[in-house]
Amino acid sequence: MSFDKLPFAGQLGIMLALAAVIVGLAYWVFPNLSEQRKEITKLEDSYAEKDREIRKGQAIEARLQEFEREVANLERKLSDVAQILPRNTETGDLLKWIKNLGDQSNLDLKSFSPGTLKPVEFYTEFPIEMQVIGKYHDLGIFLDRVSKYSRIINVDKLKMNDNKGNNKSIRASFTATTFVYDESTEGGVE
């Protein structure tokens, strides 16, 4: 008997039976097909996440030269700032510079007394009490040169008195305050 000669209900029955056998055989050969489908879905999700990470990394890599230029620029700026706000007091160098500056300005440096360090936010104030003897105009030249120094130096509490019996007409005392970078606050400053 041929399949074509069977009535429609018979053909339908054979087709359903054949489909049931195929489905049963598939479940017998692949017993955990639904678990494999879940595993495939997890792997596809993992693949998509890794692909996003790769694209993100490629975008960063494309900007690597830009970041390197920015780092170099920031390092130059840090070097400039380190001259203005050094990491230590450099008292000896500062004394030599002040002494030379006083000599160039025709002033006699009578006292140079470093004070105690005073912490303020991310820097420390370093006051130095000074006393000089010279002419009024020479003191002005000296203070002008101090204002042009690469480090920040504030001069305050300036007191001038006459200096009798000498060709140098005034005695001046003042506080020169310079600043030092405080590395202990480095993590807290943003």
Tell me which residue range forms the domain holding 161: 91-185
Q: Decide: pTM greater than 0.75.
A: no
Do strands 170-181 and 108-114 pair parallel, antiparallel, or not at all (unpaired)? unpaired
Q: What is the CATH number of the domain that holds 155?
A: 3.30.70.60
Rounded to whole angstroms, the Cα distance separating 139 from 163 reads 13
Element housing 25 (H / E): helix 8-29
Q: Does residue 39 lie in a domain region? A: no
Q: Which phi and psi (to 5°) does residue 189 adopt? A: -90, 130
| Domain count along the chain | 1
Q: What is the mean pLDDT of the chain?
A: 82
Helix residue spans in 30-182 (DSSP H): 33-62, 64-84, 91-104, 136-147
Rounded to whole angstroms, the Cα distance separating 50 from 40 reads 15
> What pLDDT score was predicted for residue 86?
61
Tokens of 167: 């060709």
pLDDT over threshold 90, residue 49: yes
